Chains A and B, each alone.
Chain A
Amino acid sequence: MNIPKELKYAKSHEWLFFEDETTARIGLTDYAQKELGDLVFVNLPEEGDEVTAGESFADVESVKAVSDVYSPVSGTVAAIHEELLDSPESINEQPYDAWLVRVENITDQEDLMDAAEYEAYLEEL
């Protein structure tokens, strides 16, 4: 299982890369993409949308399922990763490059884990 050291992790299996204290990119972990199977579509929010910690902000589709993606932080969507709309498979292939959204003005966040903590968390599942 690939768990990069420089990222933070949420219990609902999103990774966060903090560009600064109030700006982060969010994506799905390697564990999440394996569990979800081959992804065929991503529904992303729009730029300017507010996201709230613990609430769904996007969903990903496999052939026979749709799963919500939860935001570990509260803030404003500054950018969405538009290329994913045409190539959802990159979430399966390169989960840590395939960020979904970039959130700025982060005001609140869940308790996040570092790589070691996330690895321990996965072992317990």
Chain B
Amino acid sequence: MKLIFERSVKGRGCSVLPECEVPVWDFGEYGRKKELRLPEVSENDISRHYTELAKRTHGVNDGFYPLGSCTMKYNPKINERTAANDGFTGVHPLQPEHTVQGCLEVLKTAEQVFCEITGMDRMTFQPAAGAHGEFTGLLLIKAYHDSRNDGKRTKIIVPDSAHGTNPASAVMAGYTVVNIPSDPDGCVDLQKLREAVGEDTAGLMLTNPNTVGLFDKNILEITRIVHDAGGLVYYDGANLNAIMGVTRPGDMGFDVIHLNLHKTFSTPHGGGGPGSGPVGCKDFLARFLPSVQVEGDGPYTFVRQPDSIGMVKAFYGNFLVVVKALTYALMLGKDGLWEASRNAVLNANYLMEKLADKYKMPYRRTCMHEFVMSLEQEHEQIDVSAMDIAKALLDYGIHPPTMYFPLIVAEALMVEPTETESKENLDEIIRAFEEIYEQARTNPEAVKTAPHVTPVGRLDEVQAARKPHLKYSYDE
């Protein structure tokens, strides 16, 4: 289809703004010399263009989206409505405090609710996404060690099953990364952890349930080992959806956590963002929190923490996303959140058990909200890879699971169905997986060249990376 620039016709346009009613300011020598080339299109052109683009975009509303570790649950529409309220959207972030009491109430209520769910004492909503939260949480750990003049703690321990953001965030926070291998169950190898900790340990980053979808039973021992060595323990909230109302990171011994409101708390991903990555901590870390905290019980006030790490972005975070997540949390309440988690775990186990007849599950025991399957055998025996299976799913209108993650499983597909899928959807998906499994054996070529009915086929990523073509070329 055409690019919006290819729809442009000189002289077309929309009539959005009136002419200037005061004397026109002359920018003189400050003016740009290069002509500004933007599309000249009518409103109808724009509407049709984006409608066509929308048809070429698969969202949660289009179908099953079992993208492991991303928690692609249904995004309730009431969230969108409450966040679009002019009483929130029309507020300038630098208005006087007495005129933004509603916004402060949102932040305070959200802090109370999410702290209770996670077992934390305080929370900041400034971080805009999960990785941003990791960075912020690690800076709290850094500020804590600095405040004790404990300058030799320069290392963050990360299991080899971790998301790539964990080591990348640790480096942004000035740490060197110590990778430790997982045990055969995909959990933390306690012996390796004991060997890794020491006087140079600043902390450990972990998610539990872990990235293969298992609850690490040794979690109390893990957090104790790190604490005994003088380090702190960071909880990556990517996998919280399994445990709401069941257990809390704070009770497992974690000191600081981030949440992904755009995962567990149902705010939409928007094709990659905006998200929200609030960071919760135990009381002893609260004095380092960034930006300002809301204090009081109406009237509310903003209070800066005494030893704050500063600001990790402007203003108070992705506020309208927090409004959506709070809407969801209040609507579900303690009973609904508990039900959501239990059904996320049920759906994952149901799907895993039903697929295990055909597909290899490297960790076949009760999983939490997600599980990992391995196409290693198929890859060796019939040269059909995890990627091929994923691409074949596209022709069924199913978004594939996360591919090739975690790195500790060969030819991995990581599946997270979420609690909002119905039994009949899951049964349909099981049938699709089974058909693809059969086809991979009877007609592997069809699977290896999939997808066949999508707007484009497999794309040449090598060419894209070797000769980057990153914008429309007007001069062609």
Which residue of B404, B461, B466 contacts A89 across the interface (Cβ within 8 Å)?
Answer: B466
For residue A118, CB closer than 8 A to chain B, the reply is no
For residue B470, CB closer than 8 A to chain A, the reply is no
For residue B17, CB closer than 8 A to chain A, the reply is no
Query: When the two chains form their complex, are residues B462 and A63 in contact, meaning their CB atoms are under 8 A apart?
Result: yes
Which residues of A (31-50) have their CB < 8 Å from a CB of B?
38, 40-41
Which residues of B (315-345) have their CB < 8 Å from a CB of A?
none
For residue A64, CB closer than 8 A to chain B, the reply is yes
Inter-chain contacts of A38 with B (CB < 8 A) = 462
- How many Å from the CB of B76 to the closest CB on chain A? 34
- How many Å from the CB of B465 to the closest CB on chain A? 4
Which residues of B (446-476) have their CB < 8 Å from a CB of A?
461-462, 465-466
Which residues of A (58-109) have their CB < 8 Å from a CB of B?
61, 63-64, 88-89
Inter-chain contacts of A89 with B (CB < 8 A) = 466
Query: When the two chains form their complex, are residues B466 and A40 in contact, meaning their CB atoms are under 8 A apart?
Result: yes
Whole-angstrom distance between the alpha carbons of A61 and B465 in the complex?
10
Inter-chain contacts of A64 with B (CB < 8 A) = 404
Interface residues on B, range: under 10
Whole-angstrom distance between the alpha carbons of A101 and B404 in the complex?
32
Inter-chain contacts of B465 with A (CB < 8 A) = 40-41, 61, 63
Q: Could you say which of A63, A88, A89 has the most chain B C-beta atoms within 10 Å of its C-beta?
A: A63
- How many Å from the CB of B464 to the closest CB on chain A? 8
Inter-chain contacts of B466 with A (CB < 8 A) = 40-41, 88-89
Contact digits for B400-421, partner A, Cβ 8 Å, 1 yes 0 no? 0000100000000000000000
Inter-chain contacts of A63 with B (CB < 8 A) = 461-462, 465
Q: Name B403's closest neighbour in chain A (CB-CB).
A: A64
Query: When the two chains form their complex, are residues B404 and A40 in contact, meaning their CB atoms are under 8 A apart?
Result: no
Whole-angstrom distance between the alpha carbons of A37 and B394 in the complex?
25
Inter-chain contacts of B404 with A (CB < 8 A) = 64
Whole-angstrom distance between the alpha carbons of A124 and B241 in the complex?
46
Whole-angstrom distance between the alpha carbons of A40 and B465 in the complex?
6
Whole-angstrom distance between the alpha carbons of A63 and B461 in the complex?
7
Inter-chain contacts of A61 with B (CB < 8 A) = 465
Inter-chain contacts of B461 with A (CB < 8 A) = 63
Whole-angstrom distance between the alpha carbons of A61 and B466 in the complex?
10
- How many Å from the CB of A94 to the closest CB on chain B? 16
Contact digits for A15-40, partner B, Cβ 8 Å, 1 yes 0 no? 00000000000000000000000101
Inter-chain contacts of A41 with B (CB < 8 A) = 465-466
Inter-chain contacts of B462 with A (CB < 8 A) = 38, 40, 63
Whole-angstrom distance between the alpha carbons of A40 and B461 in the complex?
9
Whole-angstrom distance between the alpha carbons of A63 and B462 in the complex?
6
Whole-angstrom distance between the alpha carbons of A26 and B120 in the complex?
54
Q: Name A61's closest neighbour in chain B (CB-CB).
A: B465
Whole-angstrom distance between the alpha carbons of A38 and B465 in the complex?
10
- How many Å from the CB of A103 to the closest CB on chain B? 27
Inter-chain contacts of A88 with B (CB < 8 A) = 466
- How many Å from the CB of A40 to the closest CB on chain B? 4
Whole-angstrom distance between the alpha carbons of A21 and B135 in the complex?
48
Q: Name A88's closest neighbour in chain B (CB-CB).
A: B466
Whole-angstrom distance between the alpha carbons of A66 and B466 in the complex?
14
Q: Name B404's closest neighbour in chain A (CB-CB).
A: A64
Whole-angstrom distance between the alpha carbons of A43 and B268 in the complex?
37
Whole-angstrom distance between the alpha carbons of A30 and B465 in the complex?
22
Whole-angstrom distance between the alpha carbons of A41 and B465 in the complex?
8
- How many Å from the CB of A91 to the closest CB on chain B? 12
Whole-angstrom distance between the alpha carbons of A88 and B468 in the complex?
13
Whole-angstrom distance between the alpha carbons of A38 and B467 in the complex?
13
Whole-angstrom distance between the alpha carbons of A88 and B462 in the complex?
11
Whole-angstrom distance between the alpha carbons of A50 and B461 in the complex?
34
Which residues of B (131-189) have their CB < 8 Å from a CB of A?
none
Whole-angstrom distance between the alpha carbons of A40 and B466 in the complex?
5
Contact digits for B246-260, partner A, Cβ 8 Å, 1 yes 0 no? 000000000000000
Whole-angstrom distance between the alpha carbons of A64 and B462 in the complex?
10
- How many Å from the CB of B359 to the closest CB on chain A? 22
- How many Å from the CB of B39 to the closest CB on chain A? 31
Whole-angstrom distance between the alpha carbons of A90 and B327 in the complex?
55
- How many Å from the CB of A37 to the closest CB on chain B? 9
Whole-angstrom distance between the alpha carbons of A64 and B466 in the complex?
13
Q: Name B465's closest neighbour in chain A (CB-CB).
A: A40
- How many Å from the CB of A99 to the closest CB on chain B? 19
- How many Å from the CB of A96 to the closest CB on chain B? 21
The 7 closest A-B pairs by CB, nearest first: A40-B465, A38-B462, A63-B461, A40-B466, A63-B465, A63-B462, A40-B462
Pairs across A and B, CB under 8 Å, 13 listed: A38-B462, A40-B462, A40-B465, A40-B466, A41-B465, A41-B466, A61-B465, A63-B461, A63-B462, A63-B465, A64-B404, A88-B466, A89-B466
- Further pairs besides A41-B466, A88-B466, A89-B466: 10, Cβ < 8 Å: A38-B462, A40-B462, A40-B465, A40-B466, A41-B465, A61-B465, A63-B461, A63-B462, A63-B465, A64-B404
Which residues of B come within 8 Å of A, CB atoms?
A: 404, 461-462, 465-466
